[in-house]
Amino acid sequence: MRISYENLIDDITSTSMTALTTASGYPIANVQDQRLTKKWKSDSSTTQTVIIDLGSAQAVTAIAIVSHNIASTATVVVNANATDVWTAPSVIESLTWNSGMIIKFISSQSYQYWQFAFSGLTQAVAIGRLWLGTYSQIDPSSTDEFTVTDIRDDTVTYGKHRQKYASPGVGWRKIDLSFKANKTTAISVIRSIYSTVGKHSSFLFANFDSLRDYPLVDPLYGSFSEDIAFAHQGNQKYNYPISITEDL
């Protein structure tokens, strides 16, 4: 289980971004907004790049593109370099396409300049979030007895004789996990994450690390939806649950 909860791109005091093209009303700064409906859009379907200057060399182990319209036939590459020159970057990471979220965990690379490159596009690209950060490994992971709930916000009312009046909404997932009694560093990691993001900040959650074979538990962009209660089981070992709800 992996959680990436601090996006270096969001540090507006030290990070600057340059998109090759931008459609009117959809600036690249939108990728720093937690709301996935606030998107950066290019003005064409030609090859696009976004160059990110983190202000100084920063370690990265998690790369993601969240809420996108990139076709499966496109090529997505993330490069890193010590300078803003891309003829022969020090790091070249090819990302595997997935709908909704493209995510890759890598060995730690520390560079100031990063470039997202999109080629083979079939339409102007639209992206909700670009993500560069590190991830925390939760070990031991949760028990196998976890619950995934599909939630919808359809508006539905019924008349006197059960005549339905409805407006379609949207859907999202909620994942409820439980952890067996332990006193390992996993508890410290979870507490540190929750102390940092609380319920106010969204993060990346991958229940099965890099595995993408189970759509129901596919990696999600979400927030803690409940407080975390640590139940003492003796000898300073604690059971605890966590609930994560997908953000849109």
20 and 130, same domain (yes or no) = yes
Residue 142 forms part of a structural domain: no
169 and 123, same domain (yes or no) = no
- For residue 235, the model assigns a pLDDT of 84
Domain count, the chain: 2
- For residue 185, the model assigns a pLDDT of 77
**Domain boundary residue, one of 135, 155, 183:** 135
- For residue 222, the model assigns a pLDDT of 98
Residue 141 forms part of a structural domain: no
84 and 11, same domain (yes or no) = yes
Q: Which two tokens stand for residue 115?
A: 């470039």
- 10 secondary structure, DSSP code: G
Scored b (16 or more CB within 10 A) or e, 94-128 reads: ebeebebbbbbbeeebebbbbbbbbeebeebbbbb
Q: Which two tokens stand for residue 203?
A: 């993060």
Residue 214 forms part of a structural domain: yes
120 and 151, same domain (yes or no) = no
Residue 140 forms part of a structural domain: no
- For residue 182, the model assigns a pLDDT of 75
202 and 116, same domain (yes or no) = no
**Range of the structural domain that residue 233 is part of:** 147-246
**What is the chain's pLDDT, residue by residue, as a tens digit (248 residues)?**
999 999 999 998 899 999 999 999 999 999 999 999 999 999 999 999 999 999 999 999 999 999 999 999 999 999 999 999 999 999 999 999 999 899 999 999 999 999 999 999 999 999 999 999 999 999 888 888 899 999 999 999 999 999 999 999 999 999 999 988 777 778 899 999 999 999 999 999 999 998 888 888 999 999 999 999 998 888 888 899 999 999 99
- For residue 142, the model assigns a pLDDT of 86
Using a cut of 0.75, tell me whether the model's pTM lies above it.
yes
C-alpha span between 211 and 199 (Å, rounded): 26
Residue 129 forms part of a structural domain: yes
Residue 125 forms part of a structural domain: yes
63 and 116, same domain (yes or no) = yes
- For residue 237, the model assigns a pLDDT of 87
91 and 166, same domain (yes or no) = no
**Domain boundary residue, one of 105, 135, 165:** 135
